[in-house]
Structure 1
Amino acid sequence: MSVIRVHSAIRDYEVHLSESFDFLDAFEKIPNRFYVIDSNVWKLYRDSLFAYLNPQLVLVLPIEEERKNLSTVMEVYDALMARSAKRNMTMISIGGGIVQDITGFSASTLYRGINWIFVPSTLLAQADSCIGSKTSLNYKNYKNLIGSFFPPNQIYLCPKFTKTLKDKDYFSGMGEVIKLHLMGGEVLARELMSNLPALTARDNPTALLSAIEKSLAVKLSYMQDDEFDTGKRNLLNFGHCFGHAVESTSEFAIPHGQAVIVGMIFANIVAKARGLMSLDLFHELQFKVLLPALTTRPTQSQLNTEQIMAAMQMDKKRTGEGLVLIMLTEGFEMCKVEDMGFAELTSANQELLSTLAKA
């Protein structure tokens, strides 16, 4: 089992990468433990990995984007308090990013912080969201408006969980893998181009484990000295500024990582139009990386410019009048702009619609 050590101003923690599920046995030795498990994961592994768990120590949580809110957090509070939760309780959450957000927020706020172990079961959570300390909840139609910074005490990551993912969820994770590899520089980006057929075919566990480790390493490099997202870490929102808007306008019918791919295509269109990305690089990324991994495409109505504009205006990174956009530029450098207006948004969105219609 390899280990990635993450420094945090709140508390340092470790990511344990394992090729087997053996680490689950050790959890049973933790006193005052309580499990919160994604209902989808529970159904898949109830009679195998979880057969030995005491039902009194398990909350099976039905999970969907619409439940990533304070009401579901209250369900977790109720379950913990019904079992006489104290500050020395350890909550062990197993599931994807939504479980991470709900349980992480619950752990950060109950008694102002209880022990928390996270086991990410989706590619999206394993390659990206499991590190970074953020917990985020949706409020009404607004994505990730409420949240806290609270890292787990430990993370245990096993890529074997991804074997049972539906294609929709696997390719959602691929969106973040692609984003982080592009942000890692030209060498890593071209390595991804070589490995993408194996990753999309889902038949090479070695390539997948390597991609997950490298994705986490890139994310850590952007988090260094900016844990609380005030500077360089903002660049990790590449693809998210527009992507979060697409999630909102589609009422979350477009999975997060797929929306991020759409957001990266949009950002590249703007970068090309501003002369920040060459046509050659634009086409290479479009046809060798982004479009081949885009398996869930937004409809024309989900890309309504006025609705996209309204959603992007709610971006919590926005401080001025213009819209925020993170872009990849020539040489695989990242930049942030805060001056995109409606006319530029309209033009780029029209090109995006045309691109998706032709692909």
Structure 2
Amino acid sequence: MSERTPAGYRPPVVVTDGDDPGDWDWLPRRTSTLTRVLIIAACAGVVLLVGSLWLKGWIDDRLDPPGDEGPELVVNIPSGAGINDIARILEDEGVVPNSTVFRYYLRFKDAGDVQAGNYLLHENMSVWRAKDVLLAGPAPGLADDSRRVVLPEGLTLAQIQAELVSQVATFSADDLARALAFPPLRSQYQPANSTLEGMLFPDTYLLDDATAGDEAALVVRLVNQFDAVAAEVGLADAPDTVGVSPYEAVIVASLVEKEALIDEDRAKIARVIYNRLGMGWPLQIDAAVRYAVNKPTDPLTLSDLDVDNPYNVYNRTGLPPGPIAAPGRASLAAALNPAEGFWLFYARTDDPVPGAHTFSLTAEEHEVAVALCRERELGC
């Protein structure tokens, strides 16, 4: 007589390698409902935590963006502008990264009314710094005709002096020359017995009524701005990154600034310079010879290439003794981060875009590029 199988009974599932019951492996029981609920809750908690951390990081970056503050600029707040208008203006000018976050921050802080007028702010400011500047009221002396001095990249010290005298009518040429020759402040990257050549950062500077007649104060600002940008791009690390001193890296950057016509070529030109230095070859860079013979634009002659001058890198090896122009941020970065490659030559060919250079490994390849440069009358 057999026993009846209870309703709903399911025998255990087993896997056996043979007939020996000792070899049976019992499969685990099915996961209970409570365990599944706990697993789902844990996964949801992890997702929520990761999402919360990401959102917090996103908001933090818009409250206080990473990096240092950028260049100063005058921002005009028009009459009748509300919080929404002010937030939009500051985002458009690059002062704050997000107008919505800035708007809610002002409301959370119950900020008062902002007066109409001109404010001296900086790019990439934290929302609380921007708020404090706005609530302090318009900057004194920043009238609508505030003096804006524009110094483009690649100017020599003499050209910078001429630009400043030309753009700032209240500057004395003699006082400016004295401030540049005997600067009240020297760059921390500048060796002794060197001039300010290459150590004044090209940028746009705003002068109010108080500083429009102070030549020495502007020189200090130009040097400070150079040091600030140099620190941001890691100039002090040049001995470790590219094997030259910080000042020598500025020299390389100045050569890159004068030679490169498009941004894509800067790091490649820097690599050619380092490759030639490593092989003990003359750099043969026309821009350095132009600096030596003071020919900014006129064609060089064969006698120019033979001139006995430490900046003539056709008949000397190594770097010139100092920078030949004021390099911008992109050229400084290129000098510290040269492209990977074994090029030893370059010539302008405008291929694939206007201003582009062709980079070559061998003299034979270079001659082909030079022939194309001459065919297209690009100055070779």
TM-score by length of 2: 0.25
Q: Which has the higher helix share?
A: 1
Q: Which has the higher strand share?
A: 1
TM-score by length of 1: 0.26
Structure showing greater Rg: 2
